[in-house]
Copies of this chain bind each other. A is one copy, B any other.
């Protein structure tokens, strides 16, 4: 008998019929002898609708009030799911973040979980009650409701799993697992039965929508086993856990990509210390996330500095960069918001050379121009024109033989 934390996303509880289906799935797991605690997102597009409503009231809503508003979405879905379980004769009890509490820091909209008070949950689990907990929300020390950022429900689930010392944390959504790349783009994409935290981190950080970076980081830090599953169909999903050193890691596990990129390049900067800092400081002060950073020195006196940001932040970022570059005569700022990023990820890269060679060879054959490249131990990221993205992913998926991956 194991203790399993299940997290159901918004699509999984998007209608009354879906809520009943989820209740039956939970009941089945309990029938198999497991103890289950559940984390739920807001139903369907509830959060988006609440955000819209807030913006109708006020163009720049107060962040504290925004959090108080958004937190209601998960309160609705937890109460309804508890009702649905009780209808099946299963004792269940809903909890919001103030009731446990789930203590967080005070930054509205992007609070961090500090502590989960699990006593009520433990009592419930001991007495056969299924606790249903609101995802995405927390409670600051001053009593304010907080939210922990979009997709935060995954993180809530891992935090609960860690607090309850669960055997596994299952993330249920409308995808059946982690794939070698997005099956909507490459039909030959295969589900990965198992993947390491590191690989998942790289995939999540590179635009895979399956899991949020933060939730994977959290799970990796505590060694909590994660399993990505579909709530719509049966299947083993993908297990995310420590790398199994006894098994040789595949060279490349998957290809992630992200269309919402924009790149900014500052050419002709003087080549001296502090240049990168001078360029990035105004960007980070404006709370704009920077993704890739590439520096090149064409000669001993000059440096070219490039970085990528989310497309939504492009106009603000290039404006700030122009101001910053103004201090350096001869520096020229250019940008492109029609770029996309792809990343080839695999633990096996560590010991297998030639991954980069295959990448450049494949893209060359396809006549796809590579704009920026950055590498980590188990990942190579490449920036290409947005129009070339799909062709690049398909070609690389085939070049690395990902369509032949075993999928037990």
Across the two chains, which residue of chain B brings its CB closest to A15?
A: B56
Main secondary structure of the interface of A (DSSP, over half): helix
Which of the residues B16, B62, B68, B82 comes within 8 Å of A53, measured between beta carbons? B16
Interchain CB contact under 8 A, B72 and A86: no
Chain A to chain B contacts (Cβ below 8 Å), 16 pairs: A16-B53, A16-B57, A20-B57, A53-B76, A54-B79, A57-B83, A57-B87, A58-B84, A58-B86, A61-B83, A65-B82, A65-B86, A66-B79, A68-B78, A68-B96, A98-B98
Closest partner residue, chain B, to A64 (CB atom): B93
A189 to B344 Cα, complex, angstroms:
78
Tell me if A65 and B94 are in contact (CB < 8 A).
yes
A79 and B86 contact, CB distance less than 8 A: no
Residue of A72, A79, A96, A99 ringed by the most chain B CB atoms within 10 A: A79
Q: A58 CA to B53 CA in the complex, in Å?
A: 28
A241 close to B (CB within 8 Å): no
A364 to B36, CA, bound (A): 70
How many Å from the CB of A140 to the closest CB on chain B?
Answer: 11
Measured CB to CB, the nearest residue on chain B to A82 is B65
A87: B residues at CB distance < 8 A:
57-59
A19 in contact with B86 (CB, 8 Å): no
**B83 and A65 within 8 A (CB):** yes
Q: Which residues of B contact A144 (CB under 8 A)?
A: 99
Q: Judge whether A50 is part of the interface by a CB distance below 8 angstroms.
A: yes
* A184 CB → nearest B CB, Å: 32
The CA of A143 and the CA of B131, in the complex, are separated in Å by: 15
**CB-CB contacts below 8 Å: A45-94 with B:** 50, 53-54, 56-59, 61-62, 64-66, 68-69, 71-72, 75-76, 78-80, 82-84, 86-87, 93-94
Instruction: Determine the chain B residues whose CB is within 8 A of the CB of A145 once the complex forms.
Output: 96, 99
Contact A75–B69 (Cβ < 8 Å): yes
- Determine the distance from Cα of A16 to Cα of B49 in the docked complex, in whole angstroms: 13
Q: Which of B59, B64, B72, B96 contacts A76 (CB 8 A)?
A: B72
What residues of chain B lie closer than 8 Å to A54, measured between beta carbons?
A: 79-80, 83
* Chain B residues, CB < 8 A from A19: 57
The answer to whether A80 and B57 touch across the interface, beta carbons within 8 angstroms, is yes
Chain B residues with CB under 8 Å of A61's CB are: 83, 86
CB-CB under 8 A from A84, the residues of chain B are: 57-58
New A-B pairs, 14, CB < 8 Å, besides A58-B84, A65-B80, A99-B144? A16-B56, A20-B57, A53-B80, A57-B87, A65-B83, A65-B94, A68-B75, A68-B94, A69-B75, A72-B75, A72-B79, A75-B75, A99-B143, A99-B145
The count of identical subunits is: 2
Contact: A69 with B58, CB < 8 Å? no
Sort A-B residue pairs by CB-CB distance and give the 10 closest, nearest first.
A69-B79, A72-B72, A68-B79, A58-B83, A58-B87, A65-B79, A16-B56, A61-B83, A65-B82, A72-B75
Query: In the complex, which residue of chain B has the Cβ closest to the Cβ of A62?
Result: B86
Query: Please, which residue of chain B has its CB at the minimum distance from the CB of A100?
Result: B143
Q: Which of A138-192 contact B (CB under 8 A)?
A: 143-145
A53 surroundings in chain B (CB, below 8 A): 16, 76, 80
> Chain B: which residue is nearest A23 at the CB level?
B57
Min C-beta distance of A382 to chain B, whole Å: 43
* Contact residues in B for A58 (Cβ distance below 8 Å): 83-84, 86-87
Q: Report B-chain residues with C-beta under 8 Å of the C-beta of A82.
A: 62, 65, 68
Bound form: Cα–Cα A120–B82 in Å: 32
Nearest residue (CB) in B for A20 is B57
B-side contacts of A57, CB under 8 Å: 16, 19-20, 80, 83-84, 87
CB distance from A72 to the nearest CB of B (A): 4
Question: In the complex, what residues of B have CB within 8 A of residue A98's CB?
Answer: 98-99
